[in-house]
Amino acid sequence: MSGGEAGARADEAVVKDPADPVRLAAWARDAGLLGAGDLTVTRLSGGASNLTYRVTGGGHDWVLRRPPAFGALPTAHDMAREFRVQAALAGSGVPVAAMVALCGDPGVLGAPFYLMERLDGVFHTRSADVAALAPTVAREAGLALARALGTLHAVPPSAVGLGDLARPEPYLERQLRRWRGQWDRVGFDEVPELDRLLRELGDAVPASGRLGIVHGDYNLGNVMYRADDPARVRAVLDWELSAVGDPLADVGQLLAYWGAAGRLLNAHRGGHLPDANAALPGRDELVEAYVETTGAPLPDLAFYERFAVVKLAVICAGSLARAAAPDRERVERTVGLVARLAAIADATG
C-alpha cells in the first residue's frame, strides 16, 4: 500500500523534521496502519546515505527509510525501488526485512519514504566484535555472507516481478558511463592514473552474461545476522543501489572490500574486519561458497574487482569535492588515498 493510495492528508508545506512523528502518525492512520495513539521516532546509525529511524507506537515496531533532508542527488535515493525490490524478494529465499508500506508523497515528510518491520539481529561491523567471534562462528558468518549473495543472484528477476527493471543499455556499459561522468565532474586532476584505468576498463568490458538482481553495495556492513545465531544471515539491508544487471558486479565489490582496498579504507575506522579474526574465510573461499550456491562460473572476475576499486576511488575523490573548504591536510590525505586505490586497482588481476 503506497502513501498516495492510502490518501495521505499532509499538506505541501516544507517539512523541517525529516521524520516528524506527528505528521508520520497522521499519515499512518490515514493509511490504515495505525489506530489511536502516537508514534515515537528515534534516529538509528548506519543506513548508508539514506536516513534510518526506528518508529514505535500502537503496538508496532518499524524502521523508516528516507533520503537525506539536504543534498540528495536527483537520481539517487529511490525509495520506491528499494521498497519494491525487497517486497519482491519476500519468500524467495533471500533474507530481507518485511515491507510495511511505501509513501511516495513528498508532502508528508519532505521526501518519499517507506516503513519495514524492525528485525532483531546483530552486525559484524566493528573489529573488536569480529575479533570476539569464536573461530567456527567467524568462519560460518563469512561463508554465509557469500552464500546469501549467491542466493540473491540465483533468483531470476522475472520470477519475482522485477524483469522490467532491466534496461536496454548493457549494465556494465551504463555503469562505466556513470562513473566516468562522476570522475569528470569531480575534476580531480591529481591522480591521472584513474583516467587510464577507466579507459582500460572501457576497452575490456566482458561480454554480457547472465542477468540478475544486483544489490549494488554488498558488504559485511550491510548484512544483519541472527541475534541467537551470529553465523546465520538475518537480512540483507540497504538496497538503494539495487538494479537488474550483471550480478558479478556485487561479487567484485565484495572482494574489493575484503581485500587491499577495504584494508586501506578501514585503516582509520578501527581496522579491517577480515584481518580481525583469522578464522574468517579468505577470498578464494568466499568465491567457492558463492559458486557452490549459484552453480554459475565466475569469468573475468578481475575486471569486476578492479572496477569496484575504481568506484571506491571516485567516491573518495567526490567526498573532497563536496567539502566546502577542505584544509591542506585533508586534501593531501584524500589525494594519497585515491592514488593508493588506483594502485590497488592497477595491481588487481
Per-residue confidence (pLDDT) for residue 328, from 0 to 100: 84
Per-residue confidence (pLDDT) for residue 330, from 0 to 100: 84
Tell me how far apart the alpha carbons of residues 162 and 236 are, in angstroms, rounded to a whole number.
18
Per-residue confidence (pLDDT) for residue 46, from 0 to 100: 60
Whole-angstrom Cα Rg for the chain: 21
CATH number of residue 104's parent domain: 3.30.200.20
H, E, C per residue of the chain: CEHHHHCCCCCCCCCCCCCCHHHHHHHHHHCCCCCCCCCEEEECCCCCCCEEEEEEECCEEEEEEECCCCCCCCCCCCHHHHHHHHHHHCCCCCCCCCEEEEECCHHHHCCCEEEEECCCEECCCCHHHHHHCCHHHHHHHHHHHHHHHHHHHCCCHHHHCCHHHCCCCCHHHHHHHHHHHHHHHHCCCCCCHHHHHHHHHHHCCCCCCCCEEECCCCCHHHEEEECCCCCCEEEECCCCCCEEECCHHHHHHHHHHHCHHHHHHCCCCCCCHHHHCCCCCCHHHHHHHHHHHHCCCCCCHHHHHHHHHHHHHHHHHHHHHHCCCCCHHHHHHHHHHHHHHHHHHHHCC
Per-residue confidence (pLDDT) for residue 76, from 0 to 100: 52
For residue 79, give its domain range: 3-117
Same domain, 106 and 154: no
Same domain, 177 and 306: yes
Q: How confident is the model at residue 3 (pLDDT cuts 50, 70, 90)?
A: very low
Per-residue confidence (pLDDT) for residue 188, from 0 to 100: 87
Cell numbers for 191, please give them: 591522480
| pTM, to two decimals | 0.90
Does the pLDDT at position 90 exceed 80?
yes
Q: What is the pLDDT of residues 6-19, one digit of tens each?
A: 333 333 344 468 89
CATH number of residue 217's parent domain: 3.90.1200.10
Same domain, 139 and 91: no
Q: What is the pLDDT of residues 226-260, one digit of tens each?
A: 999 999 999 999 999 999 999 999 999 999 999 99
Tell me how many domains the chain contains.
2
Tell me how far apart the alpha carbons of residues 29 and 335 are, in angstroms, rounded to a whole number.
51
Are 218 and 200 in contact, with CB atoms under 8 Å apart?
no
Q: What is the mean pLDDT of the chain?
A: 90
Q: How far out from the chain centre does Cα 195 lie?
A: 25
Per-residue confidence (pLDDT) for residue 302, from 0 to 100: 96
Domain boundary among 66, 86, 117: 117
Question: What is the phi/psi pair of residue 184, to 5°?
Answer: -65, -40
Same domain, 230 and 86: no
Tell me how far apart the alpha carbons of residues 17 and 86 are, in angstroms, rounded to a whole number.
26
Are 4 and 105 in contact, with CB atoms under 8 Å apart?
yes
Are 292 and 150 in contact, with CB atoms under 8 Å apart?
yes
Same domain, 302 and 328: yes
Burial of 71 (0-12, 13-18, 19+ CB in 10 A): exposed
Domain boundary among 100, 117, 134: 117
Same domain, 81 and 108: yes
Same domain, 107 and 151: no
Give percent above pLDDT 70 in the chain. 91
Q: What is the pLDDT of residues 21-69, one digit of tens each?
A: 999 999 999 999 999 889 999 999 764 478 999 999 999 999 999 998 7
Cα separations in angstroms, 132 against 47, 61, 215: 24, 30, 28
Tell me how far apart the alpha carbons of residues 161 and 4 are, in angstroms, rounded to a whole number.
22
Q: How many CB atoms lie within 10 A of CB 31?
A: 22
Same domain, 8 and 57: yes
Same domain, 98 and 32: yes
By mean pLDDT, which of 65-74, 80-89, 104-113, 189-198 is the weakest?
65-74
Domain boundary among 71, 98, 117: 117
Same domain, 260 and 325: yes
Same domain, 111 and 148: no
Per-residue confidence (pLDDT) for residue 14, from 0 to 100: 47
Per the model's pLDDT, the better-predicted residue between 213 and 329 turns out to be 213
Does the pLDDT at position 269 exceed 90?
no
Same domain, 24 and 129: no
Per the model's pLDDT, the better-predicted residue between 262 and 209 turns out to be 262
